[in-house]
């Protein structure tokens, strides 16, 4: 599955998932400023999911919430 990227001004959020040994998935978002080197922060969705698609949905929602909070100055 491709890693979708969302942008708001200088901020970039990349959505992906991680699969664990127990078969569950967790959505994650790497959030960074495109104009600053080494500024990436990893955010994890609170919920664990039984499918990769469901974890992606959780991560997409998290990415949109994170981007809504940033002020691009």
Domain ranges of the chain: 5-69
**What is the C-alpha to C-alpha distance for residues 6 and 16, in angstroms, rounded to an integer?**
12
**What is the C-alpha to C-alpha distance for residues 42 and 29, in angstroms, rounded to an integer?**
6
Q: pLDDT-derived band of residue 73, with 50, 70 and 90 as boundaries?
A: low
DSSP letter (8 states) at residue 38: T
Rounded to 5 degrees, φ, ψ at 29 are -135, 125
Highest average pLDDT, of 9-13, 17-21, 69-73, comes from 17-21
For the segment 16-56, what is each residue's pLDDT rounded down to a tens digit?
999 999 999 999 999 998 887 677 899 999 999 999 999 99
Q: Is the full-model pTM beyond 0.85? A: yes
């Amino acid at each position: 599955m491709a890693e979708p990227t969302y942008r708001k001004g200088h901020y970039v959020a990349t959505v992906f998932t991680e699969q664990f040994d127990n078969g569950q998935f967790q959505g994650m978002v790497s959030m960074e400023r495109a104009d600053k080197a080494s500024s990436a922060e990893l955010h994890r969705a609170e919920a664990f999911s039984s499918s990769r698609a469901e974890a992606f949905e959780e991560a997409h929602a998290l990415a949109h919430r994170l981007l809504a909070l940033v002020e691009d100055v």
